[in-house]
């Protein structure tokens, strides 16, 4: 214990700083969180989100393509103006993948992500899905991008004694396929997000950060503002980095007493102050 007036030498000062928790320097938003606003004015919405503190965007195809009708040049100009990066987009990765990959690469995206793949009824079906993911990953690798898969709760429901998410993890090539863990969906399915990330270090590079109110309602209808639910994000974010998590993307789909843009602003404020 240091006495009053004690002097910290440089190595002791560094040690003291390492004990203090830091704040998350960058975080993103899945633009689907404000989908109606994106339809009305994609450029204006992205500028507003950047003013809330979002430094990363994750897109989705709302019918205007992954760049929302912008040319790559226009999109890059917007990103430069806002100081944000377009890190990824959810997309139909099994249709026109080369063309989408060219656009994505030109604006600096790292990933194209399969957002949903839930019609599989057998273990073999999930193994075949893993093969499709590997194939799409090969295509994206040729463009300098990587494939990722975003889960819902259905991959965390046992099927013939196996977990579909495990099947995907164990039958995809780590050089071709990464995963985006939707922490809400794993949580409401009964799987601790941090423990699952720790089971497969290096495989989860992105995650969706959204909170869940305590159990009692439908699993699909428990989304709440960050910090008002039961998921311990300070611990999860801090520790998931140890296992390779790089991108923390806010998403919200349920809004009670707030608008999507108000929620986006409040969620950004929460995450910007979170000690991790």
Is 258 buried (19+), middle (13-18) or exposed (0-12) by CB count in 10 A?
A: middle
pLDDT value of residue 33: 98
Q: Is residue 24 part of a domain?
A: no
- pLDDT value at residue 212: 96
Number of structural domains the chain divides into: 1
pLDDT in tens, 161-172: 999 999 999 999
Task: Judge contact between 209 and 26, C-beta under 8 A.
Answer: no
Number of residues that this document lists for the chain: 276
**Whole-angstrom distance, CA of residue 28 vs CA of residue 33:** 11
Tell me whether residue 3 is in a domain: no
Closest CA to 112 of 130, 133, 131, 128: 133
pLDDT of residue 5: 46
Q: Is residue 165 part of a domain?
A: yes
For residue 8, pLDDT beyond 90: no
% of the chain beyond a pLDDT of 90: 87
Residue 75 resides in a domain:
yes
The verdict on residue 72 lying in a domain is yes
- What's this model's pTM, rounded to 2 decimal places? 0.91
Statement: residue 11 has pLDDT above 50: no
Residues 6+ apart with CB under 8 A from 211: 184, 223, 224, 225, 226, 227, 228, 229, 230, 231, 233
pLDDT for position 22: 79
Mean pLDDT value across residues 17-39: 86
pLDDT score of 19: 45
Range of the domain at 45: 29-273
In a domain, 108, yes or no: yes
pLDDT at 2: 42
- Is there a domain that residue 13 lies in? no
Enumerate residues 6+ apart whose C-beta is below 8 A from 76.
Answer: 106, 107, 108
Beta bridge partners of 242: none
* 240: in domain: yes
Share of residues in the chain with pLDDT > 70 (%): 92
Question: Residue 185's domain is classified under what CATH number?
Answer: 3.20.20.150
Res. 43: pLDDT tops 70 = yes
């Amino acid at each position: 214990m240091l006495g009053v007036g004690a002097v910290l030498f440089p190595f002791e000062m560094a040690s003291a700083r390492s004990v203090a928790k830091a704040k998350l320097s960058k975080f993103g938003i899945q633009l689907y969180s404000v989908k109606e606003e994106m339809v009305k004015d994609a450029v204006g919405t992205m500028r507003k989100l950047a003013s809330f503190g979002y430094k990363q965007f994750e897109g989705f195809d709302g019918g205007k393509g992954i760049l929302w009708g912008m040319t790559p040049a226009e999109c890059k100009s917007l990103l430069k103006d806002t100081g944000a990066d377009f890190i990824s987009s959810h997309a139909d990765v099994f249709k026109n993948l080369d063309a989408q990959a060219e656009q994505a690469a030109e604006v600096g995206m790292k990933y194209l992500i399969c957002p949903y793949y839930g019609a599989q009824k057998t273990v073999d079906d999930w193994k075949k899905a893993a093969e499709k993911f590997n194939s799409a990953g090969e295509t994206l690798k040729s463009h300098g991008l990587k494939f990722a898969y975003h889960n819902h709760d259905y991959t965390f429901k046992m099927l013939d004694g196996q977990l579909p998410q495990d099947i995907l993890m164990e039958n995809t090539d780590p050089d071709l396929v990464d995963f985006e863990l939707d922490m809400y969906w794993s949580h409401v399915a009964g799987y601790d997000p941090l423990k699952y990330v720790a089971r497969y270090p290096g495989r989860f590079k992105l995650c969706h950060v959204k909170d869940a109110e305590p159990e009692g309602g439908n699993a699909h209808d428990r989304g709440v503002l960050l910090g008002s639910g039961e998921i311990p994000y300070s611990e999860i974010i801090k520790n998931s980095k140890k296992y390779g998590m790089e991108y923390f993307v806010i998403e919200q789909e349920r809004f009670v007493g707030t608008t999507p843009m108000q929620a986006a602003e409040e969620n950004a404020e929460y995450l910007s102050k979170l000690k991790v």
